[in-house]
């Protein structure tokens, strides 16, 4: 449920990174010595884990260091996440490049964001700093998957388990379990078309 990611729930930084690792590698339960060494190797070598750790440090670490983590995230991954975004446990970034997560964005548990996804305000002239108390950015529910090159903007709610297809612009609410596809999706060719005609 979307409410699981509200600012009141404050898991520790280590617990969040562990949940992100488990979601990325689909693991649960304890770790043996061998599995622990594999986990360390994965964390050190996987760009998805690098990005998630920087995001967690920026959003949950000391505020004084948030600009350091943000600049590293931008330099290494071309990804920009606002310090005041609320991101639930189990964040998965299969290809952590070109992401933008704006201020006040709320992501639920086990959200998957592919590359070049933007979540933010609809128009620059309505920045949240200019209108305190008014939510202008998306709230994304649990188990949502957003495929590459999609844009979710405005004070919308994306329901639990929804899937946002590649290259989709969303500025209205999305119901729980909905699948949103690009409007101009090409239909499969018939077997006659594949033969090249007569």
Looking up residue 172, the CATH number of its domain turns out to be: 2.160.10.10
Q: What is the pLDDT of residue 135?
A: 83
Domain span holding position 151: 2-183
* CA atoms within a 13 Å half-sphere pointing along the CA-CB vector of 75: 7
* CA atoms within a 13 Å half-sphere pointing along the CA-CB vector of 26: 2
How many C-beta atoms surround the C-beta of residue 112 within 10 A? 18
Contacts of 191 (CB under 8 A, 6+ apart): none
Q: What is the pLDDT of residue 189?
A: 44
* CA atoms within a 13 Å half-sphere pointing along the CA-CB vector of 173: 6
Residue 193 in any domain: the answer is no
Residue 134 in any domain: the answer is yes
Residue 198 in any domain: the answer is no
Whole-angstrom distance, CA of residue 9 vs CA of residue 42 = 28
Residue 25 in any domain: the answer is yes
The phi, psi pair for 159, rounded to 5°, reads -70, 160
Cross-strand bridge partners of residue 170: 152
Q: Please give the radius of gyration of the chain, using alpha carbons only, rounded to the nearest integer.
A: 18
Residue 100 in any domain: the answer is yes
Residue 195 in any domain: the answer is no
CA-to-CA separations, 78 to 39, 58, 166, in angstroms, rounded: 25, 15, 19
Q: How many domains does the chain have?
A: 1
pTM of the full structure: 0.81
Q: What is the pLDDT of residue 6?
A: 44
Q: Please give the DSSP secondary-structure letter assigned to residue 124.
A: G
Q: What is the pLDDT of residue 11?
A: 76
Residue 136 in any domain: the answer is yes
Residue 190 in any domain: the answer is no
Q: Please give the DSSP secondary-structure letter assigned to residue 129.
A: G
Task: From first to last of the 198 residues of the chain, give the pLDDT tens digit.
Answer: 444 444 335 678 888 988 998 898 887 655 566 677 777 788 888 999 999 999 999 998 888 999 999 999 999 999 999 999 999 999 999 999 999 999 899 999 999 999 999 999 987 654 555 566 778 899 999 999 999 999 999 999 999 999 999 999 999 999 999 999 987 554 444 444 444 444
């Amino acid at each position: 449920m979307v409410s699981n990611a509200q600012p009141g729930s404050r898991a520790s930084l280590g617990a969040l990174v562990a949940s992100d690792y488990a979601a990325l590698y689909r693991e649960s339960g304890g770790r043996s010595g061998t599995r622990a060494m594999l986990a360390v190797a994965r964390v050190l070598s996987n760009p998805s884990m690098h990005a998630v750790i920087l995001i967690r440090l920026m959003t949950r670490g000391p505020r004084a260091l948030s600009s350091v983590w943000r600049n590293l995230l931008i330099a290494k991954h071309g990804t920009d996440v606002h310090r005041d975004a609320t991101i639930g446990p189990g964040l998965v970034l299969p290809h952590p490049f070109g992401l933008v997560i704006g201020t006040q964005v709320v992501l639920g548990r086990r959200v998957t964001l592919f590359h070049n996804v933007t979540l933010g305000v609809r128009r620059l002239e309505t920045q949240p700093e200019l209108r305190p108390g008014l939510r202008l950015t998306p709230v994304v529910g649990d188990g949502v998957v957003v495929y590459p090159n999609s844009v979710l903007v405005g004070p919308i709610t994306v329901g639990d388990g929804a899937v946002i297809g590649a290259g989709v612009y969303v500025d209205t609410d999305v119901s729980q379990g909905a699948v949103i596809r690009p409007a101009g999706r090409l239909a499969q060719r018939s077997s006659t078309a594949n033969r090249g005609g007569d």
